[in-house]
Amino acid sequence: MARAVSTRRKIFFTALAWIVALLLFFPILWTILTSFKTEQEAIASPPMIIPSWTLDNYFEVQARSDYFRHFLNSVWISVGSTLIALLFAIPAAWAMAFTPTPKTKDVLMWMLSTKMMPAVGVLVPMYLIFRDTGLLDTVWGLTMILTLINLPIVIWMLYTYFREIPVDILEAARMDGAILWKELVYVLVPMAVPGIASTLLLNIILAWNEAFWTINLTASKAAPLTAFISSFSSPQGLFWAKLSAASTLAIAPILVLGWLSQKQLVRGLTFGAVK
Amino acid sequence: MATRESRTIARIMMAPSVIVLLIWMIVPLALTLWFSFQNYNLLNPVVTFAGWLNYQFFLTDPAFAQSIVNTLLLVGGVLLITVVGGIFLALLLDQPIWGQGIVRILVISPFFIMPPVAALIWKNMLMHPGYGIFARIAEAFGQQPIDWFAQVPLFSIILIVAWQWLPFATLILLTALQSLSEEQKEAAEMDGANAVRRFIYIILPHLARAITVVILIQTIFLLAIFAEVLVTTNGGPGYNSTNLAFLVYRTALLSFDVGGASAGGVIAVILANIVAIFLMRAVGRNLDA
């Protein structure tokens, strides 16, 4: 590193970067602040920056609409669909990474192509199937759909991770006389866990924020937060602070997960095309 | 290493995933195709064969032409903002600055906001013509506030979606930027290339691949934008902010026209496939490397 960075230059770029970053983050920050305001404060002119830190909005949202049930629906659907997808994907990705055949690439590309199908293309039949089988507005139905739409991404992500596990290490273990299940438990599993963990994290984020099927296939009982928050689109009376409280709770857990998984994000979302 | 036995095991391990994806891909799509040739309305129990009528009606509906234009404007507008903004932000974040980790976290955060929340935050707290922050800023400068969703509905949605996707573009371009070797940059500097020339002849070509990936992946998602339209404008005023995805939804679940909506769905699938072919090539090429 021969380039000496002048302090003045660094101050300039730091200031610029912070201004841009804060502008981009502002809508989120403002929502969080507004959630602690009274409804009058939320629409005050000039805008109030520091709220009175009331928690009433949170209690009221819960009391009026059983918020926690929708929150739990989101948790069930996103975590459930991710775990089921992993159950299907781990063996498949494992087989493709460690026993590649000339056809492996075609299979992977085909799986990815199922992800390209736009949801509206199959909205009508899925809606009718759900209606006729009683899956409409059920957590199970949505979990199934989200498992299917995210399965290709899960397989791809796992595949790119598994492919990086050196096969030599297996041979070394075999030389030492390890038998198959020991190979698996002591050598491969510890190396595969980080990849599985980041896949799990990214997929929970994607499933939590999915807002096409969750809105169209639920009414109220099984509605996760995406569908619940959408019902705020036609407001009655003062509601900004309450909307903000509902929104803050809906985005907070996933923001934290997102920050934790930011390193894996690029790789996961580009199917390994950019690392 | 791959013996016949291990290949059999590999096939068994892959089978469940392949089978469920096969069913998921074929059954609903076949049904959509089938419905698209039927006169089928949920309010009318009689279903008859329609031939190409559904396609004829859907394609000649003025709303269809508008929805295609809107879809293209939406995808194009968001791509323009996110790619240009993303390059700028990636270059900025690549500089040595204080608090880089926190800046990075702030910048990528919008990506994790679920679409209905993002849209409602913008609709109510920023773009509201009476109480929104933008209106307050306009008033402070003595200007008439813009009624965003009435005057420029599609542009407003473009802004919201661009805000959500800018972090994605930034993050991917930043990752690509950081793989550019220091030596290469230094060599160019020694040769007396100024910042602009370095950007055009070294950085931009290096980013070309990442930009392609950003454009293709975003296009897949942007073609399907739905929740943002639903909670802000509901496609209006008129059809001014209705995109293809929203039009299909409207035909299916609001007009109960299964046949017409299916025809629209088939058209959406065809459009997405054209993009998909390009994306698969880009990703597939990397698989060999």
Lowest mean pLDDT among A32-36, A46-50, B262-266: A46-50
- Mark yes or no for CB contact B112/A225 under 8 Å: no
Distances (CA, A) of A40 to A35, A219, B31, B125, B197: 12, 31, 52, 14, 54
Band (pLDDT 50/70/90 cuts) for residue A238 is low
Does residue A1 belong to the interface with chain B, where contact is any CB pair within 8 Å? Answer: yes
Distance CA(A90)–CA(A86), nearest Å, equals: 6
Q: Flag whether B49 is in a domain.
A: no
The torsion angles phi and psi of B23, rounded to 5 degrees, stand at -60, -45
For the residues B22-34, what does the mean pLDDT come to? 90
- Mark yes or no for CB contact A122/B265 under 8 Å: yes
CB atoms within 10 A of CB A221: 11
The answer for A 92-151 residues in CB contact with B (under 8 A) is 92, 94-96, 98-101, 105, 107-109, 111-129, 148, 151
Nearest beta carbon to residue A118 from set B96, B231, B268: B268
For the residues B79-107, what does the mean pLDDT come to? 92
- Enumerate the residues of chain A whose CB falls inside 8 A of the CB of residue B210: 274
**pLDDT of res. A101:** 83
- Reported as a single tens digit per residue, the pLDDT across A10-19 is 899 999 999 9
- Mark yes or no for CB contact A88/B20 under 8 Å: yes
Compute chain A's Rg from CA coordinates. 23
Q: Flag whether B38 is in a domain.
A: no
Q: What is the CATH number of the domain that holds A136?
A: 1.10.3720.10
Does residue A33 belong to the interface with chain B, where contact is any CB pair within 8 Å? Answer: no
Domain count, chain B: 1
Q: Flag whether A226 is in a domain.
A: yes
Q: Is there a contact between A117 and A52 (Cβ–Cβ < 8 Å)?
A: no
- Mark yes or no for CB contact B131/A211 under 8 Å: no
Structural domain of residue B180, as residue ranges?
A: 58-288
Chain A nearest-CA residue for B281: A109
Distance CA(B268)–CA(B244), nearest Å, equals: 7
| In the predicted structure, residue A235 carries a pLDDT above the cut 80 | no
**pLDDT of res. A255:** 92
Q: Are β-strands B38-41 and B44-49 bridged in parallel, bridged antiparallel, or unpaired?
A: antiparallel
Q: Please state the ipTM of this predicted complex.
A: 0.87
Structural domain of residue A124, as residue ranges?
A: 66-231
CA distance B4 to chain A (A): 10
| In the predicted structure, residue B18 carries a pLDDT above the cut 70 | yes
Lowest mean pLDDT among A60-64, A96-100, A113-117, B17-21: A113-117
- Mark yes or no for CB contact A215/B266 under 8 Å: no
- Reported as a single tens digit per residue, the pLDDT across B218-251 is 888 898 899 999 999 988 788 899 999 999 998 8
**pLDDT of res. B289:** 46
Distances (CA, A) of B244 to A108, B63, B268: 29, 9, 7
Q: Is there a contact between A264 and B121 (Cβ–Cβ < 8 Å)?
A: no
| In the predicted structure, residue B79 carries a pLDDT above the cut 90 | yes
Distances (CA, A) of B60 to A145, B64, B65: 33, 7, 8
Average pLDDT, chain B: 87
Between A252 and B182, name the one with better pLDDT: A252
Q: Flag whether A196 is in a domain.
A: yes
| In the predicted structure, residue B113 carries a pLDDT above the cut 50 | yes
Does residue A211 belong to the interface with chain B, where contact is any CB pair within 8 Å? Answer: yes
Domain count, chain A: 1
| In the predicted structure, residue B88 carries a pLDDT above the cut 60 | yes
Distance CA(B240)–CA(B154), nearest Å, equals: 7
Q: Is there a contact between A178 and A187 (Cβ–Cβ < 8 Å)?
A: yes
Chain B nearest-CA residue for A84: B17
Does residue A262 belong to the interface with chain B, where contact is any CB pair within 8 Å? Answer: yes
Q: What is the CATH number of the domain that holds B205?
A: 1.10.3720.10
Nearest beta carbon to residue B116 from set A46, A226, A266: A226
**pLDDT of res. A147:** 95
Does residue A243 belong to the interface with chain B, where contact is any CB pair within 8 Å? Answer: yes
pTM of the predicted model as reported, rounded to 2 decimal places: 0.89
User: Would you tell me the crossing angle of helices B204-222 and B258-288 to the nearest 10 degrees?
Assistant: 160
- Enumerate the residues of chain A whose CB falls inside 8 A of the CB of residue B252: 123-124, 127
Q: Flag whether B12 is in a domain.
A: no
Share above pLDDT 70 across residues of chain A, in percent, rounded to a whole number: 91
- Mark yes or no for CB contact B261/A124 under 8 Å: yes
- Reported as a single tens digit per residue, the pLDDT across B171-198 is 999 988 888 777 777 777 777 777 888 8
| In the predicted structure, residue A2 carries a pLDDT above the cut 50 | no
Highest mean pLDDT among A46-55, A83-92, B236-245: A83-92
Q: Flag whether A200 is in a domain.
A: yes
| In the predicted structure, residue A3 carries a pLDDT above the cut 60 | no
- Mark yes or no for CB contact A112/B210 under 8 Å: no
- Mark yes or no for CB contact B112/A250 under 8 Å: no
- Reported as a single tens digit per residue, the pLDDT across B253-283 is 888 888 888 998 998 888 888 877 877 777 6
Q: Residues with Cβ < 8 Å from A265, sequence gap 6 or more?
A: A202, A258, B108, B171
Chain B nearest-CA residue for A255: B112
**pLDDT of res. B288:** 53
- Reported as a single tens digit per residue, the pLDDT across A147-189 is 999 999 899 889 988 888 887 776 777 677 666 677 667 777 7
| In the predicted structure, residue B286 carries a pLDDT above the cut 80 | no
Distance CA(A256)–CA(B112), nearest Å, equals: 9
- Mark yes or no for CB contact B131/A118 under 8 Å: no
Q: Flag whether B11 is in a domain.
A: no
Highest mean pLDDT among B76-80, B142-146, B171-175, B187-191: B76-80
Give the burial class of B244: count Cβ atoms within 10 A of its Cβ; 0-12 exposed, 13-18 middle, 19 or more buried.
buried
CA distance A24 to chain B (A): 6
- Enumerate the residues of chain B whose CB falls inside 8 A of the CB of residue A45: 131, 136
- Mark yes or no for CB contact A92/B13 under 8 Å: yes
